[in-house]
Structure 1
Amino acid sequence: MTSSPENVVENTIEAVLVGGPNDLPATVRTQRLPQDGQKIKIHHRGGYEHFEREIDDPAPSPDPVVFRWTTRTRVAE
């Protein structure tokens, strides 16, 4: 079974990443994610920036969902 572009959009949300390093690229701060996504990990400057969903509201909304920065971890060597 294949997914049509409409199904992919229907099953995702627009996410906005708030907080974290000032030099995190603007192109990374807005993403489409699965509707049930709770956490995002972004590779940045030799580590990972972690963001968590601010509100877990199951009702679909046209507004972007805010994911707030929580911590930074280093890449394991």
Structure 2
Amino acid sequence: MNSLSAVLIGGPADLPPNRRLLRLAAVEEVVRCKFGAGYECFHFLGERMAFDPSVLVYEWSHREEAMSE
């Protein structure tokens, strides 16, 4: 099975660069990235990197706080 490359744009400035590069099994509408006490949410808007169209671009949309149990 081939995986897709994706990059996460925007969101917290302190989200490490190595967390911004992903391999996905399929195109997903939303990618949730665990960070701190919650999740950073990135949406795929159909864009790809200009220098490499095989890389999907996900843009930050919002943060979800983790629910305590």
Say yes or no: TM over 0.5. yes
TM-score if structure 1 supplies the norm length?
0.74
Q: Note if contact 2:32-2:42 (Cα within 8 Å) is conserved in structure 1.
A: yes
Structure showing the higher strand proportion among its residues: 2
Partners of 2:8 and 2:27 in 1: CA distance: 16
TM-score if structure 2 supplies the norm length?
0.81
AA aligned opposite 2:10:
G
- Aligned to 2:32, which of 33, 41, 60? 41
Percent identity reads 31
Give the length in aligned residue pairs. 65
- What is the CA distance between 1:62 and its match in structure 2? 4.8
1:31 is aligned to 22
1:73 is aligned to 64
Partners of 2:57 and 2:39 in 1: CA distance: 18
